[in-house]
Structure 1
């Protein structure tokens, strides 16, 4: 399977789009992708960066993992999370274009 590249938010698969735009907790998951675009983080770092509980961060990370938008990286006894090419492409597609042009209105 090749790398998925989405040129606009309209090309993002429905399941991933629901996770990042339409579904409950979508804003938080999108913020997690934004945070991970700066590099690998563990669950505690994600929780602190977003100002949410560890448990909430863990649930959102699990959903993003299931969708293939992030992956785990073993670092000693710790688990770090990183964007996958699919996750990065989805994030870039959602960021693209002038505000209000390509982004769904729920993100405005």
Structure 2
């Protein structure tokens, strides 16, 4: 009798979970999952955003699809990928990150060297921001790309992509707290944005994690056309 034939139901479940872990256990696939957490994307878009070759991007996406993590839809000549369970995927990666930050020295070292060097202030928590949304004392700024903002964003937030932030500094209010957010906990642009704004005399902090975690944990979102205008 083989070892497989003696497997218990628990071992069968653990085997399936191990296969799931193997599917996400690659640096490129984790990055693709971060992009897919913003919303559906074509293979071409994911290739451009990740900087990977089209064929390599497609290969990694197929691994995610076979594992049941992603699904496909054909739109004309394009194949569009989306997450089968956005909430579960986002929270799984969040838990993985928390484990790494506590127990893997290189993760903390990289955060200090490449992230906290821009902004080492404690972030605004989701609960704190939720009770301040819509108040005149707070301005929420989404520094993701315009098309990501259009797929979903925090209510009342304005979209100023990181590349455009410097040229919009004069339009930002000095009498309001500015809360910035990006794609997730390892999107360095939120750190860079908060640091830049404070260096220019503005009151600014970043939101903990990013938009996918906000949505996954049940906080309200909006889906609408982008508006990058900042009210004086």
TM-score (norm 2): 0.35
Structure 2 CA distance, aligned partners of 1:66 and 1:98? 24
For residues 37 and 53 of structure 1, the distance between their equivalents in structure 2, rounded to whole angstroms, comes to 20
Provide the residue aligned with 2:70 in structure 1: 70
Distance 1:104 1:13, change over 3 A: farther
Q: In the alignment, what sits opposite 2:28?
A: 28
Question: Any unmatched runs of 5+ in structure 1?
Answer: 1-11
Q: How does 1:62-101 map onto structure 2 within 5 Å?
A: 62-85=62-85, 88-96=87-95, 99-100=98-99
Report how far residue 75 of structure 1 moved.
Answer: 1.7
User: Paired residue for 1:15, among 19, 27, 33?
Assistant: 19
* C-alpha distance in structure 2 between counterparts of 1:103 and 1:61, whole Å: 29
Q: Please list the CA deviations of residues 3-48 of structure 1 after superposition, one character each: whole Å capped at 9, or x if unmatched.
A: xxxxxxxxx9111111222xxxx01001111100111111111111
Residues 103 and 44 of structure 1, relative CA distance in 2, 3 Å threshold? farther
Distance 1:52 1:97, change over 3 A: closer
Distance in 1 (CA, whole Å) between partners of 2:49 and 2:100 is: 28
For the aligned residues, what is the CA RMSD? 2.9
Give the corresponding residue for 1:5. none
Higher-RCO chain (CA-CA 8 Å, sequence separation at least 6): 1
Asked whether the 8 Å contact 2:24–2:64 carries over to 1, the reply is no
Structure 2 unpaired stretches of 5+:
1-15, 108-232
- Cα separation, 1, equivalents of 2:96 and 2:62: 29
CA contact (8 A) 2:43 2:78 kept: no
- 1:94–1:103: 8 Å Cα contact kept in structure 2? no
> TM (normalized to structure 1)?
0.70
SS at match of 1:72: strand
